[in-house]
């Protein structure tokens, strides 16, 4: 005979455990379904290249601020030297007035006008026109010299103080740009570290092959150089093919993009500025159809620069992990314009 006993109801504890287990299983299944797939090697390379571009932008801004800092430090040094000289001259003028007062005292007392000057601001004193008649021509001339020297000294001290403030602001900007650069490069390293060792080696080998092969297999055509300076700069840069990109590098062992172009033109006997943002003004701007070997070429909102080599090729220092090499203009980025340096 079948039993008619009612089945035993599960305990509340057991129901809670089963419910929690089921919920966890659903959550894990959902996470697995929604988890982003691991980026491929080409996707990582694309993201890393973008970060390198952003780091290069911050590097250019850092280099510009660094250049400005050095300029300000020189200007402040000159101003401080000038202030010291002006102060010495002012002290000599005051000594002369003191000698004048002593002479008057020995001959019967100090002139009231000179006595007033020695105890008050000469600017305030000379404004009192009623006292001018009591001064001799020599005294008046001496007082005016002191007044002019004090005004000059005050202006120079104010200018030096303003330059010091600018310097403090520039140093703050340098710190921010350095953090930006480090942040971008750190993210790039993290992305590369997400790849296997074999994948990272493939990327490194690819960069090395691109640099080695660019020296002997690139067809540059037979275009005439923009000038003798352009030809010399291009030849100098070509001698650096295979040397590594390094942020802030200005040669001769490593380079960043504007460091290479500056170094190359220096070998041609032409001085150009340090950053891409200033090199855009180092010559006449030209369009793509006007480019000739030796011209500077700017990409990506003027954040990257190289030397036009002919045949649609650019000789440049690309980015971290790469080497000085020729590369097709079509693969570097968005072309902005060229600049022809005439010496």
Enumerate the active-site residues.
Answer: 257, 304, 316
Q: How far apart are CA 343 and CA 227, in angstroms?
A: 9
Residues 6+ apart with CB under 8 A from 176: none
Closest CA to 317 of 214, 232, 225, 224: 214
Show the tokens assigned to 202. Answer: 């493939």
Task: Give the helix/strand (H/E) hosting 299.
Answer: strand 296-299
| Phi, psi values for residue 284, rounded to 5° | -85, 135
- The tokens describing 280, both together, are 């855009």
Q: For residue 324, what is the DSSP state?
A: S
* Contacts for 237 with CB less than 8 Å, ≥ 6 apart: 260, 261, 263, 264, 307, 315, 324
Annotate 256-287 with DSSP letters as a single string: -HHHHHHHHHHHTT----SSHHHHTTSSEEE-
Closest by CA position to 258, among listed 272, 244, 243, 270: 272
- In SS3 terms, 27-85 reads as HHHHHHHHCCCCCCHHHHHHHHHHHHHHHHHHHHHHHHHHHHHHHHHHHHHHHHHHHHH
Classified as helix, coil or strand, 110 is coil
């Amino acid at each position: 005979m079948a039993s008619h006993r009612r089945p035993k109801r599960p305990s509340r504890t057991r129901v809670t455990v089963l419910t929690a287990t089921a919920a966890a299983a659903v959550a894990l299944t959902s996470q697995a379904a929604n988890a982003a797939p691991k980026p491929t090697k080409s996707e990582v390379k694309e993201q890393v290249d973008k970060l390198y571009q952003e780091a290069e932008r911050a590097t250019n801004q850092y280099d510009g601020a660094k250049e400005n800092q050095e300029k300000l430090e020189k200007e402040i040094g000159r101003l401080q030297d000038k202030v010291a000289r002006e102060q010495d001259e002012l002290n000599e003028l005051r000594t002369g007035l003191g000698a004048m007062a002593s002479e008057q005292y020995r001959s019967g007392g100090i002139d009231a006008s000179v006595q007033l000057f020695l105890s008050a601001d000469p600017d305030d004193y000379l404004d009192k026109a009623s006292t001018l008649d009591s001064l001799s021509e020599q005294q008046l001339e001496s007082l005016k010299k002191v007044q002019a020297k004090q005004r000059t000294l005050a202006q120079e001290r104010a200018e030096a103080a303003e330059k010091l403030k600018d310097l403090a602001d520039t140093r703050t900007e340098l710190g921010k740009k350095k953090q930006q650069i480090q942040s971008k490069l750190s993210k790039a390293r993290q992305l590369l570290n997400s790849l296997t060792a074999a994948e990272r080696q493939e990327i490194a080998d690819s960069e090395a092959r691109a640099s080695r092969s660019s020296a002997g297999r690139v067809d540059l055509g037979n275009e005439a150089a923009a000038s003798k300076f352009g030809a010399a700069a291009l030849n100098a840069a070509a001698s650096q093919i295979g040397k590594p990109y390094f942020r802030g590098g200005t040669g001769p062992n490593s380079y960043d993009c504007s460091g290479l172009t500056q170094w190359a033109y220096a070998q041609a006997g032409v001085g150009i500025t340090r950053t891409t943002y200033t090199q855009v003004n180092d010559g006449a701007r030209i369009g793509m159809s006007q480019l000739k070997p030796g011209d500077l070429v700017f990409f990506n909102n003027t954040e990257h620069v190289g030397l036009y080599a002919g045949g649609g090729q650019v000789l440049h220092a690309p980015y971290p992990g790469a080497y000085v090499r020729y590369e097709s203009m079509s693969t570097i980025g968005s072309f902005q314009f060229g600049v022809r340096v005439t010496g």
